[in-house]
Structure 1
Amino acid sequence: MDYFFQEGATQQQLVLAFHGTGGNEYQLLTTVAELFPQASLLSFLGSVSEGSQRRFFAPLIDGQLNRQEFDQQTTQFFQEELLTFIQKYQEIILIGYSNGANFILGLLEQHADIADTVILLHPSRLVYSFNQSSEVKIYLTVGAQDNISLPGDGLKLTEELKQFFPNTTMILTDGGHQLTEQEVNDIQKRLGE
């Protein structure tokens, strides 16, 4: 999988970023720089093509995951990409937008303690199967006007996550299915608490 790496001022903190459908490895650079200015950054380019758009797993079919393909993508990514990097840092942060956020949820299914902090920007409530608990801090953003990742589904996903990840916080924003400056500011405030 292709990626962009930027060494940070500190060797202790690594942010792994996962773009949304149609994005690329540079989509979340500004957001990460605002939230974690001293951290090293590893931003991945999804390996699945949907026309000219890149994603981390196959498109949904009738609103459902191709479960076998999804599990294969997350397992392969963990074994071939992630293990190489996460062992070198003391603090691991995962951040993903839309398709990238959903991909992170697949990683959490298999490895609940993969990170110290997880930021899910506009994830979808797909059928996830968590079976391990973890103290990882999860911040999940939902847009009140989002017609792709519906606000009600975001609330239900938050409640499902809290059963295994008690440090899950939902942040409701005014916008739709896009990342806004106010949303980044809200996340920054929560990170500082």
Structure 2
Amino acid sequence: MDYFSIDGTNNELFVLFHGTGGNEYSLLQIAGDINPHAHILSFIGDVDSHASRRFFAPLQTGQLQRADFNKRVDAFLAQWAEMPPHNGPITFIGYSNGANFILGLLEKAPAIAARVILMHPSNLHYTFSTGSDAHIFITTGARDTLAPAGQVLALEKQLRAHFPHTTLQLLDGAHEVSDEEITYLQHVIQPLV
């Protein structure tokens, strides 16, 4: 999977996963608003292109195409294992399709990051057999029809059973990253260095 990298001035690494139709630049402003000094690796989904670019095959009748999803998660984890190790704290950040992809990574590698930010994830019946001490921050909008608040609340409860440091922030918005969301993340996400 291709990615874009930016060297930072402190020891923290942000790993970014855009939403459907996004690209490797989509979350750079958000990452910069949270910690302008972090190193950045921003991955680009390799399924379809442009307006439909994503990290895994589209849902079928509201469900993951599990074989494709697992194959792509495994491919990323193999790529990640070959990358030079990062000696500082790592934060994974995903929006929508990217957040859902991160949840697949947490199924198989629960300690992949010290901190995880899931913006507008969907509850797609993930299976977590183990967890970690990673801090997981979930945000969604009360008017989000693609990631309904009730389903995201159920996802938060499922995650909390394996990742005890999980919090959910329900905001007044739809399926988009709002200024209120960025302000919330700026307050709760402090540099880990």
Distance 1:86 1:93 in 2: 16
Aligned match of 2:171 in 170, 173, 176? Answer: 173
Q: What pairs with 1:84-163 in structure 2 (closer than 5 Å)? A: 84-85=82-83, 87-163=85-161
Distance 2:99 2:115 in 1: 13
Runs of 4+ more than 6 Å apart: none
Identity %: 44
CA displacement 1:150-186 (0-9 Å, x = unmatched): 0000110000000000000001110000001110111
Structure 2 residue aligned with 1:15: 14
Which SS does the other structure have where 2:15 is aligned?
A: strand
Structure 2 residue aligned with 1:187: 185
Distance 1:126 1:97 in 2: 15
1:86–1:92 contact (8 Å) kept in structure 2:
no
1:14–1:89 contact (8 Å) kept in structure 2:
no
Q: Aligned-pair RMSD on alpha carbons?
A: 1.4
TM-score (norm 2): 0.95
Higher strand share goes to which structure? 1
Cα–Cα, structure 1 residues 50 and 25, in superposed 2: closer, same or farther, change >3 Å? closer
Higher relative contact order (CA 8 A, sep 6+): 2
Distance 1:51 1:17 in 2: 17
Which SS does the other structure have where 2:102 is aligned?
A: helix
Distance 2:24 2:78 in 1: 20
TM-score (norm 1): 0.95
1:147–1:176 contact (8 Å) kept in structure 2:
yes
CA displacement 1:21-69 (0-9 Å, x = unmatched): 0011100000000102111000011010167421000000000101111
Structure 1 residue aligned with 2:6: 6
Distance 2:81 2:14 in 1: 14
2:12–2:90 contact (8 Å) kept in structure 1:
yes
Letter in 1 for 2:94: G
How many pairs were matched up? 191
2:22–2:51 contact (8 Å) kept in structure 1:
no
> Structure 2 unaligned runs (5+)?
none
Distance 1:52 1:15 in 2: 24
Distance 2:47 2:183 in 1: 31
Shift of 1:84: 3.5
